[in-house]
Amino acid sequence: MKEYLELFTSFFRVGIMTFGGGMAMLPMLQAEIVDKKGWATEDELLNYFAVGQCTPGIIAVNTATFIGYKRKKALGGAVTTLGVVSPSIIIIMLVAAFLGNISQYPVVQHALWGIRVAACALILSSIIKLYQSGVKNVFGMVMFLLAILVTGVFGISSVFMVIFAIIAGNVYRYFKDRKGDTQ
């Protein structure tokens, strides 16, 4: 029971501290789930994001479900999912019922301007951490640069890049093992 409560409160915190989309959640997940609780490693986080890229739904929810499942199977996944969406339900209901369009107030706009800049700084530091854990050799470096080139420069769907990476990972291992045999 205690762990369910911990799963709920941790993901409640991740939800309430995330402004914007899935990317903004990355620093919060690293702080709460990887550093503080040790429920997942940076590598596992990357695995979950990889699956989240090519499955439907909101990345925040997908990642929460994965980590919940890893700790406490299907019920754990339900608890973390509820945890990550609960702040939204509470806050949006309050805003809709009492405040109206808060995004029109200058003070909110100014604060959000600063929050976005802070989120950029946090995301850059998160990506550096993920790079250090996810890109370990020349093959990794090639895949990293290729992903940026294909999706960022040529604008090709990331689903294509994910499928290509699955094949490339296996082809790379095949040639590496064969080389190992002949030596």
Looking at residues 66 to 125 of the shown chain, list those that interact with another protein (rule: CB under 8 A): 66, 69-70, 74, 77-78, 81, 84-85, 87-89, 91-93, 95-97, 101-103, 106-125
Q: Are 130 and 49 in contact (CB under 8 A)?
A: no
One-letter identity of residue 164: F
Residue 32 neighbours by CB distance under 10 Å: 19
Interaction of residue 127 with another protein, rule CB under 8 A: yes
Q: Residues 3 to 32: which contact another protein by CB under 8 A? A: 15-28, 31
| CB closer to another protein, 3 vs 110 | 110
Among 51, 72, 83, 183, binds another protein (CB under 8 A): 51
Residue 125 in 3-state DSSP? helix
Minimum gap (Å) between residue 40 Cβ and another protein:
12
